[in-house]
Amino acid sequence: MKLAEAKKTFEALKKKLKPTCPLPLNKQKGDKAGYAYLTGIVNMIIEANSRGFDCNYDPKELTAFTQNKFPVRTLSRRVDEAFPTVINPIAIWEIKEYYFTTTFGSRVADGVYETWLDGLELREVKDNLKIHVEHFLIIDDHFTWWTKGRSYLCRIIDMLHMGILTEALFGKEVVTQLPIIVQGWTKQAKKKAP
């Protein structure tokens, strides 16, 4: 999506869903300051489809895994969000929205390679601890990805083929695909519930 479409989608969902989940602001100044549209869209869709399960919309700690209530592995960096929590999550994801970007720089590249690192660590968790966590990258801004950053789209496709990324969602796909994904998470959460 471009900025105007993201804003329109965000406002329509906000009006329809009347969310109570966090709707964070972007880090822009002046006229560009406002909601982080893609993050808000993601949060609202998760809240509307999570059937009462928690979601950590802003983890302030590292993702960790336990066995018999004993910590056995911690990831290297904080993720953007986790379902239901960063301790033994069912899913983790990064959200990268660049609606106000006018050039293509290292911030975008860093986002791709951070996701790559997370995926490699999750593969190690799966191989050694037999714990599977779904791993998503949610990105948007037409100019950033389709005009300037096509080479980094190739890196994302590589991650999918390597099995270190469960799925990449681009812009509008969040509205159609994320509800289905979240419903799958809730089924897993019900099975894990004591």
Q: What does the alpha-carbon distance between residue 40 and residue 42 come to, in Å, rounded to a whole number?
A: 5
Q: What value does the mean pLDDT of the chain take?
A: 92
pLDDT at 8 (0 to 100): 97
pLDDT at position 151 is: 81
pLDDT at 102: 66
Residue 141 three-state SS:
coil
On whether the 3-188 domain is CATH 2.60.120, my answer is: no
The CA distance from 138 to 159, in Å, is 13
**pLDDT tens-place values along the chain, 194 residues long:** 999 999 999 999 999 999 999 999 988 888 888 899 999 999 999 999 999 999 999 999 999 999 999 999 999 999 999 999 999 999 999 999 988 876 666 777 888 899 999 999 999 999 999 999 999 999 998 888 888 778 888 899 999 999 999 999 999 999 999 999 999 999 999 988 76
Percentages (nearest 5) of helix, strand, coil residues in the chain = 50, 20, 35
pLDDT at 138: 96
Residue 105's pLDDT is: 67
Q: Enter the pTM of the model.
A: 0.93
| DSSP letter string, 58-117 | S--S--EEEETTEEEEE-SS--SEEES-SBS-SEEEEEEE-TT--S--HHHHHHHHHHHH
